[in-house]
Amino acid sequence: MRAMVLEAVGQPLVLRELPTPSVGPSQVRVRVEACGVCRTDLHVRDGELAHPALPRVLGHQIVGRVDALGAEVSGLALGQRVGVPWLGFTCGRCALCRSGRENLCPHARFTGYTQDGGFAEQAVADARFAFALPESAQATALAPLLCAGLIGYRAYRMAGDAARLGLYGFGAAAHLLAQVAIQDGRQVFAFTRPGDAATQRFARALGCTWAGGSDARPPEPLDAAIVFAPVGALVPAALRAVGPGGAVVCAGIHMSDIPSFPYAALWEERVLRSVANLTRDDGHAFLGRIHARPIQTHVTVFELAQANQALQALRDGTFEGAVVLRV
């Protein structure tokens, strides 16, 4: 099979011919149709996530069809379309797993980071972490749901019942989550890179109440804010934007250092918290919701061999919505 492989941290991915992967008893092999490109892929490539075992096939927003089943797999069928997310394995036995917090399992493995992912023609996944997906939708439209959607939705649930919700960094996750929040009758305030008028127009076209630069204050205090951009300096800004009792949720797996800020920015029972990974419950809840109440995915599509160009587009922010590789 063809795969785009990270062979050295900080270096471009390399197109390689690899052996077709075999499946273990509890695994499925997926013939990849599309794979979303996530900022986490950039963090792995740049060495900002510690100790990736190299060489590694990146990509953790996989959409494809099952073409091999392990002997112990049930509930999935050959030819069925499935999605494979970031969380690729948990032990199921530790206290965190048993308490419904498998996203924090110390034995977890992660697709495209500690096990090979979907920047390839085929990928192997633990069958427990393969979600059934609609047969009729375009694979490129489904791919961003597997991370931008799932982890965004977990962050959304952590933000509580905020009537006025701020989204810092209006990319793949935010453009999906904004539609969910608007469906729920909430006002969404979009914060983009300063001066990015095109993205601000995009946010308003999706129904956001207000859109401006991340250096601006919203026209009224927010009830909660979610920080998707990996920029630590946005955390104090978001705390100042939320009113008393408001929450700020940091949704990324990596962020630059948060600068010091006065206690007054946190006082009045404001809450600052992070989101780590996702659970299968998040997946079932989010995918079930969008099946009943669809949202529109805006994607810029690259071919598999263009993975490096796709990563650069993500770094530069030269797109609307999400970036996806078509395999």
Model pLDDT, residue 87: 97
Distance CA 38, CA 174 (A): 13
Q: Is the dihedral of CA 225, 325, 43, 20 positive or negative?
A: positive
pLDDT, tens digit (0-9, with 9 covering 90-100), for 8-32: 999 999 999 999 999 999 999 999 9
Distance CA 126, CA 196 (A): 40
SS3 7: coil
pLDDT the model gives residue 232: 97
According to DSSP, the residues that pair with 225 across neighbouring strands are 166, 248
Write down the pLDDT at residue 246.
98
Please report which confidence band the pLDDT of residue 317 belongs to, taking 50, 70 and 90 as the band edges: confident
Q: Which domains are seen in the chain, by residue range?
A: 2-145+278-326 (3.90.180.10), 150-274 (3.40.50.720)
Q: Average model confidence (pLDDT) for the chain?
A: 96
Q: Give the integer Cα–Cα distance in Å for 6 and 135.
A: 31
Question: What is residue 318's predicted lDDT score, i.e. its pLDDT?
Answer: 83
DSSP of 71-89: TT--S--TT-EEEE-SEEE
pTM: 0.94
Element spanning 1, H or E? none
- Report pLDDT for 26: 97
Looking at the DSSP assignment, which residues form a beta bridge with residue 226? 167, 249
Give the tens place of pLDDT for each residue, 24-82.
999 999 999 999 999 999 999 999 988 788 999 999 999 999 999 999 999 999 999 99
Helix (H, G, I), strand (E, B) or coil at 249: strand
Give residue 53's region: left, alpha or beta (phi > 0; psi -120 to 50).
beta
Query: How far is the C-alpha of 321 from the C-alpha of 323, rounded, in Å?
Result: 7
